[in-house]
Chains A and B, each alone.
Chain A
Amino acid sequence: MIPKKKKAVFFTVFFLGCLWTGVGFGASKRAAYLKVGLFAEPKTLNIWLASDRWSFSVLSKIYQGLVTRDPETLELIPWLAETLPVYDPQTLSYTVTLRDAEWSDGSPVTAEDVAFTGNLIKEFKIPRHYWRWNFVKAIQVKDAKTVRFVLEKPMAIFLSRTLTTPIVSKKEWEAVAQRARKAGKPLTALMNHKIKNPIGNGPFVLKTWKQGAYLLLTKNPHFFGKGLKIAGHVLGPHVDGVLFKFYGTSDAAILALKKGDIDMYWWSVQAGYLGDLKKNPKITLFRNERSAMYYMGFNLRKPPFNDVALRQAVATLIDKDFIITRILQGDGERMDSVVPKGNKFYYCRPDTLWGAGLSREQRVKAAYKRLVEAGYSWKVPPVDESGKGVRAKEIRLPGGAPMGPFTILTPPADYDPLRAMSGTIIQEWLRAFGMPASAKPMAFGSLLDQVKVRRDFDAFILAYGKLSLDPDWIRAFFHSKNDKVRGRNMSGYHNPEFDRIADLSAATMDKKARRKLICDMQKILMKDLPYIPLYTPKMIEAVRNDRFSGWVNTLEGIGNIWSFCLVKPIRP
Chain B
Amino acid sequence: MADGFKTRKKALSRHGHWIERWKEGWAIYKKNLLGRIGLALLSIFTLMALASFIPPLIDPMYGPMSGVDPAITASTGPSARHWLGTDFMGRDLFSQLLAGARVAFTVGITSAFVSIVLGTLIGMVAGYLGGWTDVFLMRAADLIMVMPTLLVVLILAALFGQLNIWSIILIIALFRWPGVSRVIRAQTLTLKERPFIDAARVAGASHVRIIFRHIMPNVLPLSFLYMTFRVTAAINIEAALAFLGFGDPGTVSWGMMLQWVWKTGHMFKAPYWLLPPGICISLITLAFYLLGRAMDEVLDPRLRKEGERY
A residues whose Cβ falls under 8 Å from a Cβ of B? 250-251, 254, 269-276, 322, 325-327, 329-330, 407, 409-410, 412-414, 417, 420-421, 423-425, 427-429, 432, 438-443, 446-447, 450
Q: Known contacts being A440-B162, A446-B159, is A251 close to B245, with CB within 8 Å?
A: no
Is A327 touching B89 in the complex (CB atoms < 8 A)?
Answer: yes
Q: Which of B134-142, B186-194, B258-266 contacts A (4 or more CB under 8 A)?
A: B258-266
B309 → A minimal CB distance (Å): 54
CA A407 to CA B160, docked complex, whole Å:
13
Is B269 touching A276 in the complex (CB atoms < 8 A)?
Answer: yes
- B221 on interface, CB distance cutoff 8 Å: no
Partner pick for A271 among B160, B260, B264, CB 8 A cutoff: B264
- B283 on interface, CB distance cutoff 8 Å: no
Is B73 touching A272 in the complex (CB atoms < 8 A)?
Answer: no
Partner pick for B246 among A271, A325, A412, CB 8 A cutoff: A412
B88 → A minimal CB distance (Å): 6
CA A273 to CA B74, docked complex, whole Å:
12
A414 → B minimal CB distance (Å): 4
Question: Which 10 residue pairs of A and B lie closest in terms of their CB atoms, listed nearest first?
Answer: A272-B265, A442-B161, A428-B66, A417-B263, A273-B265, A413-B245, A414-B245, A326-B89, A270-B265, A272-B264
Is B161 touching A414 in the complex (CB atoms < 8 A)?
Answer: no
- B107 on interface, CB distance cutoff 8 Å: no
Indicate with 1 or 0, residue by residue over B242-259, a CB within 8 angstroms of chain A CB atoms.
Answer: 001110011000000001
Within 8 A of A (CB), among B163-182: 164
Centre residue among B89, B164, B265 by max chain A CB count within 10 A: B265
Is B263 touching A413 in the complex (CB atoms < 8 A)?
Answer: yes
Name B252's closest neighbour in chain A (CB-CB): A424
Q: Known contacts being A250-B265, A251-B265, is A329 close to B158, with CB within 8 Å?
A: no
**5 A-B pairs with C-beta separation under 8 A:** A326-B68, A424-B65, A425-B66, A428-B65, A440-B162
Is A440 touching B266 in the complex (CB atoms < 8 A)?
Answer: no
Known pairs A251-B267, A273-B265; list 11 more (Cβ under 8 Å).
A270-B263, A272-B266, A322-B68, A412-B246, A413-B249, A421-B260, A424-B250, A440-B161, A441-B245, A446-B159, A447-B161
- B75 on interface, CB distance cutoff 8 Å: yes
Is B73 touching A423 in the complex (CB atoms < 8 A)?
Answer: no
A410 → B minimal CB distance (Å): 8
A430 → B minimal CB distance (Å): 11
Contacts of A322 in B (CB 8 A): 68
Name A425's closest neighbour in chain B (CB-CB): B66
CA A428 to CA B67, docked complex, whole Å:
10
CA A86 to CA B161, docked complex, whole Å:
50
- B292 on interface, CB distance cutoff 8 Å: no
Within 8 A of A (CB), among B66-118: 66, 68, 73-75, 88-90
Partner pick for B249 among A274, A440, A447, CB 8 A cutoff: A440
Contacts of A421 in B (CB 8 A): 89, 260
Is B250 touching A439 in the complex (CB atoms < 8 A)?
Answer: yes
B residues whose Cβ falls under 8 Å from a Cβ of A? 65-66, 68, 73-75, 88-90, 157-162, 164, 244-246, 249-250, 259-260, 262-267, 269
Centre residue among B74, B244, B249 by max chain A CB count within 10 A: B249
B249 → A minimal CB distance (Å): 5
Q: Known contacts being A326-B89, A327-B89, is A412 close to B269, with CB within 8 Å?
A: no
Is A325 touching B263 in the complex (CB atoms < 8 A)?
Answer: no
Partner pick for A441 among B249, B260, B265, CB 8 A cutoff: B249
Q: Known contacts being A412-B162, A414-B245, A441-B162, is A330 close to B73, with CB within 8 Å?
A: yes
Partner pick for B265 among A254, A438, A447, CB 8 A cutoff: A254
Centre residue among B75, B90, B250, B259 by max chain A CB count within 10 A: B250
CA A450 to CA B159, docked complex, whole Å:
11
CA A327 to CA B66, docked complex, whole Å:
12
B251 → A minimal CB distance (Å): 10
Is B90 touching A326 in the complex (CB atoms < 8 A)?
Answer: yes
Contacts of B68 in A (CB 8 A): 322, 326
Contacts of B161 in A (CB 8 A): 407, 409, 440-443, 446-447, 450
CA A290 to CA B232, docked complex, whole Å:
46
Is B162 touching A414 in the complex (CB atoms < 8 A)?
Answer: no
Contacts of B74 in A (CB 8 A): 271, 329
A446 → B minimal CB distance (Å): 6
CA A424 to CA B89, docked complex, whole Å:
13
Centre residue among B65, B90, B162, B164 by max chain A CB count within 10 A: B162
CA A144 to CA B157, docked complex, whole Å:
55
Name B63's closest neighbour in chain A (CB-CB): A428
B97 → A minimal CB distance (Å): 18
Name A330's closest neighbour in chain B (CB-CB): B73
CA A326 to CA B61, docked complex, whole Å:
14
CA A326 to CA B75, docked complex, whole Å:
10
A251 → B minimal CB distance (Å): 6
Contacts of A441 in B (CB 8 A): 161-162, 245, 249
Q: Known contacts being A413-B263, A424-B250, A428-B65, is A329 close to B162, with CB within 8 Å?
A: no
Contacts of B65 in A (CB 8 A): 424, 428
Is A413 touching B265 in the complex (CB atoms < 8 A)?
Answer: no
Name A426's closest neighbour in chain B (CB-CB): B66
Is A427 touching B267 in the complex (CB atoms < 8 A)?
Answer: no
Q: Known contacts being A251-B265, A417-B264, is A329 close to B159, with CB within 8 Å?
A: no
Q: Known contacts being A330-B73, A427-B250, is A442 close to B162, with CB within 8 Å?
A: yes
Contacts of A425 in B (CB 8 A): 66
Is A429 touching B264 in the complex (CB atoms < 8 A)?
Answer: no
Is B88 touching A442 in the complex (CB atoms < 8 A)?
Answer: no
Is B264 touching A270 in the complex (CB atoms < 8 A)?
Answer: yes
CA A438 to CA B158, docked complex, whole Å:
17
Name B259's closest neighbour in chain A (CB-CB): A413
CA A269 to CA B159, docked complex, whole Å:
28
CA A270 to CA B269, docked complex, whole Å:
13
Contacts of B162 in A (CB 8 A): 412, 440-442
Is B73 touching A325 in the complex (CB atoms < 8 A)?
Answer: yes
CA A327 to CA B75, docked complex, whole Å:
11
Contacts of B263 in A (CB 8 A): 270, 413-414, 417
Partner pick for A414 among B66, B159, B244, B267, CB 8 A cutoff: B244
B122 → A minimal CB distance (Å): 32
B57 → A minimal CB distance (Å): 13
Is B249 touching A329 in the complex (CB atoms < 8 A)?
Answer: no
Q: Known contacts being A272-B75, A414-B244, A424-B65, is A446 close to B265, with CB within 8 Å?
A: no
Contacts of B262 in A (CB 8 A): 251
Contacts of A271 in B (CB 8 A): 74, 88, 264-265
CA A417 to CA B247, docked complex, whole Å:
13
Name A254's closest neighbour in chain B (CB-CB): B265
B303 → A minimal CB distance (Å): 44
Name A409's closest neighbour in chain B (CB-CB): B161
Name A423's closest neighbour in chain B (CB-CB): B249
CA A420 to CA B256, docked complex, whole Å:
12
CA A327 to CA B73, docked complex, whole Å:
9
Contacts of A423 in B (CB 8 A): 249
Q: Known contacts being A272-B266, A440-B162, is A329 close to B73, with CB within 8 Å?
A: yes
A69 → B minimal CB distance (Å): 31
Name B75's closest neighbour in chain A (CB-CB): A272
CA A274 to CA B249, docked complex, whole Å:
26
Contacts of B157 in A (CB 8 A): 442-443
Name A413's closest neighbour in chain B (CB-CB): B245
CA A251 to CA B265, docked complex, whole Å:
7
CA A274 to CA B162, docked complex, whole Å:
29
Is B158 touching A443 in the complex (CB atoms < 8 A)?
Answer: yes
